[in-house]
Structure 1
């Protein structure tokens, strides 16, 4: 039996933070959900599930310090502001310093897989600089580093194409890409909270599956119930929107994530890991309409 913890979750109304908050609550832990918009639907859903809403954000040092007071654990994730990676680094370092001052006993920092491998991707490098700061900070910490989200298939920038029967990514159709479900992000970070001192000072890259775009559309077609075809998006098109994202997809094609998924499943059996077919089979595809 694990000890119930009180965890401050940043980004609690977003994808990652929301998944972590829900998983913690379902395992009986106390959650303080940091949010700028306590009246939002996401915040109210967390409150209904038992979370304590705390108004503030990582740029409000006083509010964050107050929120961090008296918690066992902090789940910390930065907020990317456009292509301004340096701002995310400053934000993460300031929050980590405030957590130390507040006496937080365990800081779980949400980074990204392979951020420690000199990828040259700006928003990977910005997170790694926070990791480097944590190593010398003197607070017990764990690095939680997920890969690409399975839910990116239904993100606002993807859903329109999917409604038209197209699954579009900026990598060749045959290129494998490791992915993870949001539910697994929640469960994995809950496992880190519960393992506590056994994971102090550790860095974990994690993924639930690895498959190509060709394989993804086969699974999506079956799950959705109509043909879905794959379309490779040129990185030049991405570059018009974000240089950072374009660099990331070029790295996906050239190198890519390298999580040992079999070892991860063996080492963290308490997480009910989803492969892509599990995720697609359980998703509510009514979001696509008729």
Structure 2
């Protein structure tokens, strides 16, 4: 039995689907079981990583866990998993985490590193998936693409190597079900470095009409985005975008190493999600 946390998220729903397609018994931990009912898992149980008291029943009879990190949940999850006799955990982390530093560079890296440390220090066989920029980060542009032909935002030339959520899920399922991945740290990216402007252009091709990126002054964009994004995330995002301008994003081959096929390109992701932008 494999327990999937974060199953209603962009990656988690693919993990559940892939396990179901392989006929592997799957249980989903969900704060809202009704929301998770249509994912295809054999079982859906009420629970929350932020509420340790719910973890014991959810982990009963579980061999492996796909762990979507919830800030501060690492030690309680590890204790519950060890008590339940879980053998393996595959954790979705962030490539913002830096090894061998006394303090992480930003809060996002910080909370992922704390959970990584709990998992690494456990008796579980662990695998860490340090995901880079997720292609789904482009989804907030959808409101603008539906309303017209221009996406307005900061740093048109900021670079990233967007990774398809299905690729992250496929790596997770291999690590959950195959041997040879214990103690490994995989950095997951897409196959190419793209600017924000190039991503918008590719989305335009996917929806069948031209789209352009119009750069806003950073202070204007920051003020607009601060209305719906927490300040600590805003600061991290803007610092990262500014540093990346003119610098090609790192591209990793770890998706291919684990799955045996190249990572999906962003234009494929754009076609897969074209309905979201049309």
Q: Is the aligned partner of 1:73 residue 2:57?
A: no
Deviations 1:91-137 (A, max 9, x none): 12211221111111001111111312565220221110111222222
Provide the alpha-carbon RMSD of the alignment: 2.3
2:44 is matched with which residue: 32, 53, 72? 53
Q: Which runs of 5+ in 1 are unaligned?
A: 1-5, 80-87
Residues 112 and 25 from structure 1, CA distance in 2 versus in 1: closer, same or farther, beyond 3 angstroms?
Answer: same
- Determine the structure 2 residue equivalent to 1:236: 222
- Determine the structure 1 residue equivalent to 2:166: 183
**Is contact 2:74-2:118 (8 Å) kept?**
no
TM-score using structure 1 length: 0.82
1:214 is matched with which residue: 180, 184, 197? 197
Q: Counterparts of 2:89 and 2:255 in 1: how far apart (Å)?
A: 23
Residue correspondence of structure 1 range 188-203 to structure 2 within 5 A:
188-196=171-179, 198-203=180-185
Q: Is the aligned partner of 1:158 residue 2:111?
A: no
- Determine the structure 1 residue equivalent to 2:80: 98
1:44 is matched with which residue: 27, 37, 50? 37
- Determine the structure 1 residue equivalent to 2:271: 281
Q: Counterparts of 1:178 and 1:252 in 2: how far apart (Å)?
A: 13
- Determine the structure 2 residue equivalent to 1:83: none
Residue 258 of structure 1 and its aligned partner are, at CA, apart by 5.7
Residue 27 of structure 1 and its aligned partner are, at CA, apart by 2.5
Give the 3-state SS of the residue equivalent to 1:268 in structure 2.
helix
Give the 3-state SS of the residue equivalent to 1:111 in structure 2.
strand
Q: Which runs of 4+ in 1 moved over 4 A?
A: 255-259
Q: Counterparts of 2:69 and 2:135 in 1: how far apart (Å)?
A: 20
**Is contact 1:146-1:206 (8 Å) kept?**
yes
The size of the alignment, in residue pairs, is 265
